[in-house]
Structure 1
């Protein structure tokens, strides 16, 4: 039976899980395939997960084994990493996840500091995946104006994140 808590954990951690898998396979198409297979296994093993325990560690471990399974399927291809290298990459990727999560939190804090207009443009571009041309059309601006707004917003975000990190 699917619990709302498990569904929330699964959906809210998709980007972290994808980043972890991508760091092991170095190919976005393979990462997409492994993520899909990992999600299926996570769904199937939901009852084995204890709410309150470390979902990321559990899901990363399942993803790791899915990467190894994918590797076995791809043995015929030219570039295949050995199990030891995959293990080392998994260890490094797990360590990098802490940094990624920390920077994501900083980014959220800095996004809140942007003015409403900049935040809206950033949201449309990166959360919704809209092209600059589409944003310009929807917002009644020129493409050049949208590029400038996005550029200034990105500079503000970089400066904000760097300033917070420097103060810590």
Structure 2
């Protein structure tokens, strides 16, 4: 496989690989580090890859090993999940078909579009700020408890919408 083809495939699947890394390590910074180290390993082992169709599973295995290596460095931290649990999560993700991820992403986007601008902003901002609901509460001038409750209701509504769309097989147009 040539380097241009590798770069094309890596860029196409980068979000999914980053998601896998994020599941396996405790922070986005750690996930970025794992993805960067994984890309270097992939680049070195590019000759192992025979077909484009093999890329995603091949890359996921490399990301998984790099994440486990990173986790060993963090093993002294009490808040890190056990290697067995992380391996179980990673193996389920590797076996999960890409279409399922794409369908779920599409369902989330469609469901989010059904929310008011204010509710959509609240849902999304809860993932953008590191301070969480307390920071959001301070910015909006309401109590943190109110923000927690409202986010809980909105997330429940979003989850129900996504589950409904996926169970009915509704695709975005």
Question: What's the offset of the Cα at 1:121?
Answer: 0.9
The structural deviation recorded for 1:43 is 5.7
**Partners of 2:137 and 2:144 within 8 A in 1:** yes
TM-score by length of 2: 0.60
Structure 1 gap ranges (5+):
none
Tell me the equivalent position of 2:77. Answer: none
Segment drifting more, 139-148 vs 158-167: 139-148
Q: 2:163: which partner in 1?
A: 162
CA contact (8 A) 1:136 1:142 kept: yes
Matched residue pairs, number? 152
Tell me the TM-score normalised to structure 1 length.
0.61
Instruction: After TM superposition, give the deviation of residue 153 of structure 1 in Å.
Output: 1.0
Q: Look up the match of 2:79.
A: none
Q: RMSD of the alignment, in Å?
A: 4.2
- Structure 1 residues 1-168: aligned runs within 5 Å: 8-9=11-12, 11-18=14-21, 22=24, 28=26, 32=31, 34-42=34-42, 56-64=56-64, 66=66, 70=69, 92-96=92-96, 98=98, 99-168=100-169
Assess if the C-alpha contact under 8 Å between 1:132 and 1:146 holds in 2: yes
Which secondary structure state, in structure 2, belongs to the residue aligned with residue 13 of structure 1? helix
